[in-house]
Amino acid sequence: MPGGRSTFRRNNNSAVERLNMPKKSKIHAEQLIVSIIMGSLSDWETMKNASDVLTRFEVPHECKVISAHRTPDLLFEFAKSAESRGIEVIIAGAGGAAHLPGMCAAQSLVPVLGVPVQSKALSGMDSLLSIVQMPTGIPVGTLAIGNAGATNAALLAVAILSNTRKDLREKLKEFRNEQTNTVLTSSLE
Ligand code: RP5
């Protein structure tokens, strides 16, 4: 929560340490309010950008690998329980036939922000179209392909959360101001 300590949880894969994901020692009892999920460990390089932004804003969040195709029951369980666990925004990244964000949105009222991971075969166009072309009635807020999308998904999550959290809104204002000043003071010499 704003002003509180960040909380990070990472589970269901023993390979997390290889990827420098947050370790168990950083687990705190604080309420998690954002879930970052991704279809494969191979998505972490992209989705880490979202986690980094939430960490910067001290938003308690968790990161999980959940595959719509390979672990459909786990996805069902996750999506069905997200709201009752206090999750307010879900950021879902996937590549290729990227069904994770849509299937998650189909099973939860929690807003889902979709990040199309850049695939090798089609450079993420497949991921983008899979995520963005949702049928009427089940929205997924779709971001850009790749790192920019992951970063912006987290910034959008912060903006959504800051509707009811004044201190988070102040941090977002500061971030925007810093960004503006960086551009205004940049020099090509
Ligand atoms: C999707 O398939 C994942 O989101 C990932 O982007 C893509 C490839 O997965 P791996 O074969 O690398 O596990 O489900």
For the chain, the straight-line distance linking the first and the last C-alpha, in angstroms and rounded, comes to 42
Beta bridge partners of 94: 116
The per-residue pLDDT for range 137-170, each reduced to its tens digit, is: 999 999 999 999 999 999 999 999 999 999 999 9
Q: Which of 36, 43, 63, 120 to mutate to test the pocket of ligand 1 (most atoms within 8 A of CB)?
A: 43
Burial 126-151 (b: 16+ CB within 10 A, else e): bbbebbbebeeeeebbbbebbbebbb
Is the pLDDT at 45 greater than 70, yes or no? yes
The per-residue pLDDT for range 68-120, each reduced to its tens digit, is: 999 999 999 999 999 999 999 999 999 999 999 999 999 999 999 999 999 99
- Which whole number is the average pLDDT over 34-43? 98
pTM higher than the cut 0.85: yes
Q: Which two tokens stand for residue 56?
A: 């910067």
- Tokens 């960040």 correspond to 6
Is the pLDDT at 21 greater than 70, yes or no? no
Q: Which of 13, 37, 38, 40 to mutate to test the pocket of ligand 1 (most atoms within 8 A of CB)?
A: 40
**Residue 68 CA: which ligand 1 atom is closest?**
14
91 vs 33: CA distance, rounded Å? 11
